[in-house]
Amino acid sequence: MLNPNLDAIQLTNDDYARYSRHIILPEVGLDGQKKLKAASVLCVGTGGLGSPLLLYLAAAGIGRIGIVDFDVVDSSNLHRQIIHGTSWVGKPKIESAKQRILEINPTCQVDLYETRLSSENALQIAEPYDLVIDGTDNFPTRYLVNDVCVLLNKPNVYGSIFRFEGQATVFNYEGGPNYRDLYPEPPPPGLVPSCAEGGVLGVLCGIIGTIQATEAVKIILGQGNTLSGRLLLYNALEMKFRELKLRPNPVRPIIEKLVDYEEFCGIPQAKAAEEQEKANMQEITVQELKQLIDSGAIGQEYVLLDVRNPNEYDIAQIPGSVLVPLPDIENGSGVEKVKDLLNGHKLIAHCKMGGRSAKAIGILKSAGIDGINVKGGITAWSREVDPSVPEY
């Protein structure tokens, strides 16, 4: 309903008081506030991006907001996912978000979809809404959101974040480009680290999320120039914005139906290869590692290698471990260091949860070094052996 019948939309006395600073803007006015009240927006994800944008959409007076998420609030979310609070840890994110939205805007209709967005349900979920905002953090869902918006002819307000950098644009709006014009093919699985591995500056999420909210409001109002055809790049460390032009690719594939996006992005194949690699890799539990440490075998018979990043090592360590970060092993400089450390000893490697150490062992194996992986990494050590070791 991007062009609603404004005569049918009524503002209450509370609306006039609440949105007075909007209404006195010539670019908004009474008609603009009625458009916001009549609008419906679907937000996919209530994480780092979804949190600020949902707060501002609710505060702007959006009449109907749909939220798709199936996760629960974790304490590690709270430094950036500001719609959630400590009392909601362990509870569904969508319920937390709904309560906060209604505190800001009690008249907003909040629709909850506590499910994973998939090819089976996405069209049905998105169809009733005027536009979709992508607050996700993985490539399969981003392609899915894009294709749904193309098939339903809805604008897709996009954002992404990593470490200190963010991106934002508007896809599929008034003949503009869509996500496949930016990424014709998905990157290989595992090439782009997650925020859990690479980290993210909390306030970065607020900046990109509020940019997404701004674009959504402008689209609803029909005011200003949107980011359609422009990819906005933000570097928080440098406090710099840049723009890249985006154009529709005339030879891009025509989207006619939804597909298996996990398959499209190579996720099953990557998981199968990882499982096969693990099947061929010797592993030990953290309890078995504890026995080796207690017996004095670490340092005498084995070298315990930690392949996390230095700042992670500063947070927590397993006793007797030696740090050689995975990036150093990948670029070759760490391989020689590992060889020097071993000096006839056997190798045991760990990371945060076991994935990076398995990758490191695979690289070292190609250099003639066999290793044993610690299942669950230092996270399992903290949970099952020594709770005094911080879990991050």
Catalytic site positions? 195, 351
Q: 267-279 vs 355-366: helix axis angle to the nearest 10?
A: 70
**Strand pairing category for 302-306 and 346-350:** parallel
* DSSP assignment letter at 184: S
> Which runs of E-coded beta strand occur in the chain?
40-44, 64-68, 109-113, 131-134, 156-162, 165-171, 230-235, 240-245, 282-284, 302-306, 321-323, 346-350, 371-374
| Cβ neighbour number for residue 378 with a 10 Å cutoff | 30
* DSSP assignment letter at 77: G
Beta bridge partners of 165: 162, 235
Dist. CA 170–CA 159, nearest whole Å: 9
Dist. CA 298–CA 62, nearest whole Å: 60
Amino acid, single-letter form, for residue 338: V
Dist. CA 17–CA 23, nearest whole Å: 10
Amino acid, single-letter form, for residue 391: E
Q: Are 200 and 48 in contact (CB under 8 A)?
A: yes
What are the percentages of helix, strand and coil residues in the chain, rounded to 5? 45, 20, 40
C-alpha radius of gyration, the chain, whole number: 24
CA–chain centroid gap for 169, Å, is 16
Length of the chain equals 392
Dist. CA 31–CA 44, nearest whole Å: 28
